[in-house]
Structure formats: C-alpha cells, structure tokens
Amino acid sequence: MTQVLGVILAGGLATRMGGGDKGLLRLGGRSLLTRVVDRLAPQVAGLALNANGDAARFADLGLPVIADSIEGFAGPLAGVLAGLDWAAEQGAEAIVTAAADTPFFPTDLVARLVAASAGQAHPLVLATTPKSGDEMLKSGGRGRVNRHPTFGLWPVALRDDLRAALNDGLRKVVLWTDRHGGREALFDATPFDPFFNVNTPDDLARAEGLLR
C-alpha cells in the first residue's frame, strides 16, 4: 500500500460533556487532542483534523483542519468522508482515523490495520477488542467483540460511494463497512480497553487514573 494519512475525528457535539470541544479538555496537564496527535503522527505520512466551526481554535496544533461536507452533524462517517476527500488531494490511497477523545489507543494501530487489509481490493478495516464477560451478558451473547467505528482504515477509492450513502441518509458506520466487505483487526483489552474514550466528566476522572 502506498501513503497512508491520518485523520483525527473531532466533529462531534460532545453532548454528554455539556457541549464544546472534548479534545481541548485537559488530561494530565495536556489536551486530549495533543495526546492523540502525539500518538497518531508517528504512525502516518501526514495528519489532519476533522472539525467543524472556527478552525482558529486549533491553530496551536499546526494541522490542516477539514470540515464535514455533509451538513447537519451526520456522525463519524461524515468526518471519514472529509478525510478521504483531503487524502485524495494529497494523492494518498487510504486514511486511518482516530477519535479526538481517546488518548490511549495503540501505538501500532496503523500497522495492524494495514496488515489486516492484506489482499483487499479496497483497504477497509475497523479496530475491535474482545467483549468482557459483563458485556457479553448485556448483549445476550451477540457478538464477541466490540467494534470501534472511529478507528479504522478507509480507502480513498470508495469516497464517492460513501458520499452517496451519506446523502441517502446512512449514518451507521458498520452498515457501510459490512456492505463493502470490511474486516476487523483485534486488539488486546487488558488491563483496559485501549479505545476507552472520554464521554463524560466521570470518564475524564477515570482517564486521569489510567494515566497515573
């Protein structure tokens, strides 16, 4: 595979945190976004931030800021599409996305997603972790893994298909990835799920504990 670029998804509404930019919350004296940048940048050939509104609030990161082209906060797939359009302009074949509120994701995320895509006509892979016993009980035994739809490898070649699906109202990530033969890359979840994300003030407190 040729050049893989990275896109940090920060276009959500953060309703459970009372609104605003979750990525700008402080964790251990640094913003969540800074931690995500430091984790993803070494793994990719270039990096951009998907966010809506005034891009100036992210100026200190020194990254290109790309907004959703689909109106109405259409969810993570709209951010993926924005990233794919940006990557197409750079001549890249694929992007890897990471969520702006997930500070502990694996440092080998990109390598393992790319490895899982071997042989695919269009590289399309989502990160997964095993479900815990409690999660298995809650789900009634349906599925043995948690899929993390904001952490994936996405092909530039399918960007127009994704655009059409979004314009038709599709919002659920796995419906689109399953449609195109998407694969999964399994990551270890011990001692905790590395894709743990900060949705609430309690989550931020837990993240402080994990950091320590």
Nearest alpha carbon to residue 85 among 174, 203, 166: 166
Q: What is the per-residue pLDDT across 140-165, written as a single tens digit (0 to 9) for each?
A: 555 689 999 999 999 999 999 999 99
Note whether 173 and 9 are within 8 A (CB).
Answer: no
Strands (E), the chain: 4-9, 26-27, 30-31, 47-50, 65-66, 94-99, 125-130, 145-155, 183-186
pLDDT above 70 as % of the chain: 90
pLDDT exceeds cutoff 80 at 12: no
List the domain boundaries for the chain. 4-211
User: CB 78: neighbour CB atoms within 10 A?
Assistant: 24
What pLDDT shows up at residue 16?
A: 41
Q: What is the per-residue pLDDT across 84-112, written as a single tens digit (0 to 9) for each?
A: 999 999 999 999 999 999 999 999 999 99
- φ, ψ of residue 199 in degrees (nearest 5): -105, -30
Q: What is the per-residue pLDDT across 23-37, written as a single tens digit (0 to 9) for each?
A: 999 999 999 999 999
pTM, two decimals, is 0.92
Q: Classify strands 65-66 and 47-50 as parallel, antiparallel or unpaired.
A: parallel
pLDDT exceeds cutoff 50 at 116: yes
Note whether 56 and 24 are within 8 A (CB).
Answer: no
CA distance 200 to 203: 5
Return all residues near 147 (Cβ < 8 A) that are at least 6 apart. Answer: 126, 127, 128, 174, 184
Which CATH number among 2.120.10.30, 3.10.20.30, 3.90.550.10, 3.40.1110.10 corresponds to the domain 4-211?
A: 3.90.550.10
What pLDDT shows up at residue 14?
A: 45
Q: Tell me the average pLDDT across 179-192.
A: 96
Peptide bond between residue 106 and the one before it cis (omega within 30 degrees of 0): no
